[in-house]
Copies of this chain bind each other. A is one copy, B any other.
Amino acid sequence: MGLAKTEIFTDQQNEIALFAKAFGHPARVAIIQHLFKLNACVCGDLVDEIGLAQPTISQHLKELRNLGLIKGTVEGTSVCYCINPHNWTKMKKMMTLFLDQDVPKSDCC
């Protein structure tokens, strides 16, 4: 069906999955890394940097923005994107909690 049964999972599980999905495409990983590197970036620069068509980048940016991980500010005809520090930190805490579960010292089976 292509439709995840979110109702049978906890809010936390669904939220982790949503954030993870955002990082589940290399273009979005690249966008994030570039925003961190430059601490701000105009959409057109990302198009040049990454090498996907402008509508495609715009779509990826929209997803990241809808999740609140980045924010865009209009500056004349262009839009300046950057990391949303507050939400990034919140997301990081949640993901770290998930990733940092203790690995067993002894093999189980």
Interface residues of A (CB under 8 A from B): 4-6, 8-10, 13-14, 16-17, 20-30, 32-33, 36, 39-40, 50-52, 73, 75, 80-83, 85, 88-89, 91-92, 95-96, 98-104, 107-109
* A33 with B13, Cβ < 8 A, contacts A23-B98, A103-B83, A109-B40 known: yes
Identical subunits present: 2
Give 17 A-B pairs besides A5-B52, A92-B99, A96-B99 with Cβ atoms closer than 8 angstroms: A9-B26, A9-B30, A10-B30, A13-B29, A13-B33, A16-B26, A17-B24, A20-B24, A23-B98, A29-B98, A33-B98, A36-B101, A39-B108, A40-B109, A82-B109, A83-B103, A91-B99
